[in-house]
Chains A and B, each alone.
Chain A
């Protein structure tokens, strides 16, 4: 009954693929958002401040 030689690589690769997908999604989203926020703020800062 003991099946020590079994491999379940589709499951293993599935788990690692899900990890890679989550990690890349989160980091790309964060990087894009960060650069956009920085660009917008920099554009605003370059304009002369009109407030007294």
Chain B
């Protein structure tokens, strides 16, 4: 029994040490593991102009403007916010299907001299809410939720609305 419990303590100790080391490493590299920076972070400590970063946040409602020049890829401008501050973004190219006002997006690019963000790539980040189309339409119609202004209400509040009852109403 003593040999067995000694092995158990040894394995436990090794695991503890290894987990601690991993935790500290992750803590140290935390800033690099983060996939994107929020607008307030970008404004608080502006990265060097031209340095490639990822900017993430919600597309501000009403900020999306499309500039369609002839024979060129569509150019868009929109603002990204984290609720505290907003950064204007310029992007030339095709936006992902899920892109809309109120959607969370992650843009890869660099800050420009005029304080706007020049994006080379825009990714859409959807949230963890999954709801049927009919329910979303009903919520929007009843005025309980506008997708342009943020996350949908909690699932418990609309789970009673089955697709059939929504269609019937």
Interface mask (B121-158 → A, CB under 8 Å = 1, otherwise 0): 00000000000010000000000000000000000000
Q: Please name all residues of chain A whose beta carbon is closer than 8 Å to the beta carbon of B101 when the two chains form the complex.
A: 1
Q: Range of interface residues on chain A?
A: under 10
Residue A13 lies at the interface, judged by CB distance under 8 Å to chain B: no
Residue A41 lies at the interface, judged by CB distance under 8 Å to chain B: no
Kindly identify, within residues 1 to 20 of chain A, every residue whose CB is under 8 Å from any CB belonging to chain B: 1-4, 6
Give the distance in Å from the alpha carbon of A6 to the alpha carbon of B133 in the complex: 13
Q: Name B's interface SS.
A: loop
Q: Range of interface residues on chain B?
A: under 10
Contact (Cβ within 8 A) B95 A1: yes
Residue of B nearest to A3 (CB): B97
Residue B112 lies at the interface, judged by CB distance under 8 Å to chain A: no
Give the distance in Å from the alpha carbon of A6 to the alpha carbon of B98 in the complex: 10
Residue B100 lies at the interface, judged by CB distance under 8 Å to chain A: yes
Give the distance in Å from the alpha carbon of A14 to the alpha carbon of B133 in the complex: 24
Contact (Cβ within 8 A) B64 A4: no
Which of A1, A3, A4 is close to B133, meaning CB atoms less than 8 Å apart? A4
Give the distance in Å from the alpha carbon of A4 to the alpha carbon of B100 in the complex: 11
Give the distance in Å from the alpha carbon of A35 to the alpha carbon of B143 in the complex: 62
Give the distance in Å from the alpha carbon of A4 to the alpha carbon of B64 in the complex: 18
Give the distance in Å from the alpha carbon of A41 to the alpha carbon of B53 in the complex: 62
Report the minimal beta-carbon distance from B163 to chain A, rounded to whole angstroms.
15
Q: Please name all residues of chain B whose beta carbon is closer than 8 Å to the beta carbon of A2 when the two chains form the complex.
A: 100
Give the distance in Å from the alpha carbon of A15 to the alpha carbon of B28 in the complex: 37
